[in-house]
Amino acid sequence: MDFEFTPEQEALGKEFEEYAVELMKDAPAGWGTSLEFQYSEVGWEFTRKTQKKLAEKGWLVRPWPKEYGGADAPIVEQLIYNQVMAYHRVPSADAFGIGMIGPTLLAAGSEEQKKEHLPPIARAERYWCQGWSEPNAGSDLASLVTRGVRVEDEYVVNGQKTWTTNGHNADWCFMLVRTNPEEKRSRGLTYLLVDMKTPGVTVRPLLGMNGEHFFNEVYFDDVHVPVKNRVGEENQGWAITRATMNFERSGIGGMSGAKRAIEDLVAECKTVKWDNKTLADSQFVRHRLAQLLIEIEAGTALAFRVAWSQEKGDFLQSAHLASASKVFGTELNQRIANVACQIFGLYGQVAKSRWAVMDGRWQGDYQFVPGTNIYAGSSEIQRNIISTAGLGMPRTW
Amino acid sequence: MNLDFTEEQEMLRTSARDFLSTECPKTLVRELEESEEGYSADLWKKMADLGWMGLVIPDDFGGMGMEFFDLVILLEEMGRNILPGPFFTTVVLGALPIMDAGTEEQKKEYLPKIAEGDALFTMALTEPSATYEPSGVELKATAQGDDFVLNGTKLFVEMAHVADYMIVAARSKEGGAAEDGVTLFVVDAKSPGIKCEVMPTIGADKLCEVVFNNVSVPRANVLGEVDKGWPVVERALQHATMAKCAEMLGGAEASLDMTADYAKERVLYGRPIASFQVLQHYMANMLINLETARNLIYETAWMVSAGMPSKQLVAAAKGWINEGYKFITERAVQIHGAIGTTRDHDIGLYYRRALASDLAFGNTDYQRELVARELGM
């Protein structure tokens, strides 16, 4: 084993880091004070701008093949990139374009689809959202009912998608529709790519409990989608979603951001004084923060393992570890928000104002984090994967 | 970065697993728990023949010259099987500090004996104050001609009752900072004035009280420098902590394996209990704990092995596996049901050791304090 990066990788990390610091000089006020700020009007403008600059550096899709704007870079380099960018709170890359549909098209798209969609993603010119969940199909995704009816060389789509992260900013949507209503569950689903500007697509905000705009509902009313925008064969869309899932979860960014959060909390606790001593002198505070750091180190080590497995192409063999990384990471962020709100006592509840501690960041996180235990496969779904794929338990649901 | 084991390391793991499952069945573990010595001389001899005691000892001193990280693999397998005996104390607490701080003469004297399996070692560090901080070293060392004379009591000294030698940490100078004035001695365990008594403990792992009453030790037996022994102890503790983590990882892994196997066999309401989602999620949580700990322990052990600064990670790794091993064995007992709570069932062997290992080299509260210090608080 060897946990060290090569001198070349170290140098690359340093280059990422220097540019990240440079980019963050332009961050708007309030950046980093809530997780969904990125999708607000101000936050999104900053996101687009920084993503564009990173694209100009050629850094957005480094693991992709050169012909589609990538650098054929190993996943370990992407690990370093994600770690650095998350630590410096650089706006995260388009999880749906770069993280999901890009790899999916690389694995299962037609040559025409690759040429049409991959370069704009690599150039940070086209953003994506995900049309999977519906009001009655979330964890049980295969029960979805949004219809796609083939009419000559088009599909006519009718139905509703929901929990559509960043749908209000996205240019395109990848979605699942039911093309064969006779077939139950995962059989009879087709994978489509839809331009969000197509007539009949309506996006409505679905505000989080703290009032911020992150999720949307997307309505499809006689939306015409050309057959050339179908990925894979008709009624074979489920297999394509399985390919997409392989690219979503190493978890390093979450861990890196969490580490930064602890460092910020430590710095704050060294300055806040109660009863003539700093919070950092209180054993209660010290131990709670230390415990969180312990957990972050544990999660980081697992994320490295997942990335290493993916580097070797062991996506299936490490599926349960990717699930473990996801569920551990989001639940850890929930514990961090909880501890952070508690250590400042009554001030833990105060939102952005002159009374707020750390710009009210933690009470905002406290409201946001429950959603992270649900999106991208709920904690319960992840545990199902771990117990069946990882431990060989029988599937009984 | 390369997170795969080498072929040699995989072979070491496989051969250790095969050997221990044949040579150290749970019947032997139970027998040794009850026995006075706490180890099997016969098994010790076979382990020596495999070269295990000399695994990390340099070739020049009769060993195999492998790395600390290789030893970690072996210790993981020992923890998996609950191997009782003085391997940990002899190799981790004896050979490593001698390799670290010993003179050429001391190395020549002790290391080949250890490698051959002819000398049992332990380290006498903790005292009735039960702390791993330097302030806990109060046993007095007084210079007297060519000797030092030791007076005081050591507590929780593993395997002292069968040890041939003890590395004893003593206070040789009063008044300065706690880190100053600690001297280490290699002491012949049969020296006049030493009295040893085994303490009854949850892991039946032969922790001893050792009383030193005017014990003379030649000056030549000082390990490292007079009054400057604490940094040697600190390095020994880093190694020992990671070695303990490796044992715990093996034990936690065995506990989850046993539990998953049992859940697939045990039938309730006409189907195996492994099909109940509530138990599946208990076991998923056990796996999350195990796999996070595994990777953190490998990473940290690798860094310690490479001599890289890693105080914060060592504390994090121990703090995490402390809670993980206890959590996994507690859930394991729960999933086994009533049979898991009996003296006859093997899962209890692991449940008991989880607590013993948690307390060794610093429980979780202590590790949290170490991490907090490293965070600059």
3-state secondary structure labels for all residues of chain B? CECCCCHHHHHHHHHHHHHHHHHCCHHHHHHHHHCCCCCCHHHHHHHHHCCCCCCCCCHHHCCCCCCHHHHHHHHHHHHHHCCCCCHHHHHHHHHHHHHHHCCHHHHHHHHHHHHHCCCCEEEECCCCCCCCCHHHCCCEEEEECCEEEEEEEEEEEECCCCCCEEEEEEECCCCCCCCCCEEEEEEECCCCCEEEEEECCCCCCCEEEEEEEEEEEEHHHEECCCCECHHHHHHHHHHHHHHHHHHHHHHHHHHHHHHHHHHHHCEECCEEHHHCHHHHHHHHHHHHHHHHHHHHHHHHHHHHHCCCCCHHHHHHHHHHHHHHHHHHHHHHHHHHHHHHHCCCCCHHHHHHHHHHHHHCCCCHHHHHHHHHHHCCC
Question: What DSSP state is assigned to residue A182?
Answer: T
Q: Model-level pTM?
A: 0.93
CA A207 – CA A367 distance, rounded (Å)? 12
Alpha carbon distance, N-terminus to C-terminus of chain B: 32
B44: its two tokens: 């010790």
- The answer to whether the Cβ–Cβ distance between B316 and A393 falls below 8 Å is no
Using an 8 Å CB-CB cutoff, list chain A residues near B277: 384, 396-397
CA B71 – CA A340 distance, rounded (Å)? 40
A267: its two tokens: 């710095």
On whether the CB atoms of residues B182 and B233 are closer than 8 A, the answer is yes
- A91, A99, A131, A277 from A164: Cα distances, Å: 19, 15, 7, 46
* pLDDT, position A247: 55
- The answer to whether the Cβ–Cβ distance between B291 and A321 falls below 8 Å is yes
A259: its two tokens: 């580490």
B170: its two tokens: 């003593």
- The answer to whether the Cβ–Cβ distance between B320 and A295 falls below 8 Å is yes
What is the rounded radius of gyration, in angstroms, for the C-alpha atoms of chain A? 22
Q: Is A8 exposed, middle or buried (0-12, 13-18, 19+ CB in 10 A)?
A: exposed
Alpha carbon distance, N-terminus to C-terminus of chain A: 39
Q: Is A391 on the interface with B (CB under 8 A)?
A: yes
- The answer to whether the Cβ–Cβ distance between B303 and A397 falls below 8 Å is no
Using an 8 Å CB-CB cutoff, list chain A residues near B313: 297
CA A201 – CA A223 distance, rounded (Å)? 7
* pLDDT, position B117: 98
Nearest partner of A171 among A48, A73, A58, A87, judged by Cα: A48
Question: Tokens 């131990």 sit at which residue?
Answer: A287
Question: Tokens 């007992």 sit at which residue?
Answer: B333
The continuous run of DSSP H or E covering A212 comes out as none
Using an 8 Å CB-CB cutoff, list chain A residues near B264: 392-393
* pLDDT, position B157: 98
* Minimum-distance CB partner of A391 among B283, B295, B371: B283
Residues paired with residue A230 on neighbouring β-strands, in sequence order: A192
User: Which positions of chain A have pLDDT values less than 50?
Assistant: 246, 248
* pLDDT, position A248: 43
Cα within 13 Å of Cα(A239), Cβ side: 11
Distance from CA of B274 to the nearest CA of A (A): 6
Q: Is A289 on the interface with B (CB under 8 A)?
A: yes
- The answer to whether the Cβ–Cβ distance between A290 and B375 falls below 8 Å is yes
- The answer to whether the Cβ–Cβ distance between A269 and B377 falls below 8 Å is yes
Residues paired with residue A149 on neighbouring β-strands, in sequence order: A156
* Minimum-distance CB partner of B372 among A287, A302, A393: A287
Q: Is B14 exposed, middle or buried (0-12, 13-18, 19+ CB in 10 A)?
A: exposed
Nearest partner of B126 among B210, B16, B231, B192, judged by Cα: B210
Query: A122 Cβ partners below 8 Å, 6+ apart?
Result: A55, A60, A61, A64, A68, A69, A70
* pLDDT, position A397: 78
CA A286 – CA A291 distance, rounded (Å)? 9
Nearest partner of B269 among A396, A288, A201, judged by Cα: A396
Phi, psi of B231 (to 5 degrees): -60, -30
Distance from CA of B136 to the nearest CA of A (A): 21
* Minimum-distance CB partner of A293 among B4, B285, B371: B371
- The answer to whether the Cβ–Cβ distance between B284 and A390 falls below 8 Å is yes
Q: Crossing angle, helix B230-265 and helix B68-81, to 10 degrees?
A: 40
* pLDDT, position A36: 76
B188: its two tokens: 């012949």
Q: Is A199 on the interface with B (CB under 8 A)?
A: no
* pLDDT, position A249: 58
Cβ-based neighbour number of residue B343 at 10 Å? 7
On whether the CB atoms of residues B165 and B187 are closer than 8 A, the answer is yes
Amino acid identity, position B340: G
From the centroid of its chain, how far is CA A181?
A: 31
Phi, psi of B222 (to 5 degrees): -65, 130
Using an 8 Å CB-CB cutoff, list chain B residues near A300: 296
On whether the CB atoms of residues B47 and B88 are closer than 8 A, the answer is no
Q: Which residue of A has its CA nearest to B10?
A: A1
CA B323 – CA B248 distance, rounded (Å)? 11
3-class state of residue A154 by DSSP:
strand
Cα within 13 Å of Cα(B346), Cβ side: 17
Distance from CA of B140 to the nearest CA of A (A): 32
Question: Tokens 């700990």 sit at which residue?
Answer: B293
Q: Is A272 on the interface with B (CB under 8 A)?
A: no
Phi-psi region of B110 (alpha: psi -120 to 50; beta: other; left: phi over 0): alpha
For testing contact with chain B, the best of A249, A330, A382, A387 (most B CBs within 10 A): A387
- The answer to whether the Cβ–Cβ distance between A388 and B287 falls below 8 Å is no
Cβ-based neighbour number of residue B58 at 10 Å? 15
On whether the CB atoms of residues B29 and B82 are closer than 8 A, the answer is yes
Using an 8 Å CB-CB cutoff, list chain A residues near B291: 302, 305, 321, 324
Using an 8 Å CB-CB cutoff, list chain B residues near A75: none
Using an 8 Å CB-CB cutoff, list chain A residues near B9: 1
The continuous run of DSSP H or E covering A285 comes out as helix A283-311
* pLDDT, position B66: 97
CA A135 – CA A163 distance, rounded (Å)? 9
CA A271 – CA A266 distance, rounded (Å)? 9
CA B86 – CA A64 distance, rounded (Å)? 53
Residues paired with residue A129 on neighbouring β-strands, in sequence order: A173
- The answer to whether the Cβ–Cβ distance between A269 and B2 falls below 8 Å is no
In A80-235, DSSP assigns E strands to: 128-131, 147-151, 154-161, 172-178, 189-195, 201-207, 213-226, 230-231
Q: Crossing angle, helix B230-265 and helix B311-336, to 10 degrees?
A: 30
Residues in chain B: 377
User: Which positions of chain B have pLDDT values less than 50?
Assistant: none
ipTM of the complex: 0.90
Q: What is the dihedral of CA B172, B178, B179, B183, to 10 degrees?
A: 20
Distance from CA of B303 to the nearest CA of A (A): 8
CA B255 – CA B244 distance, rounded (Å)? 16
For testing contact with chain A, the best of B295, B371, B373 (most A CBs within 10 A): B295
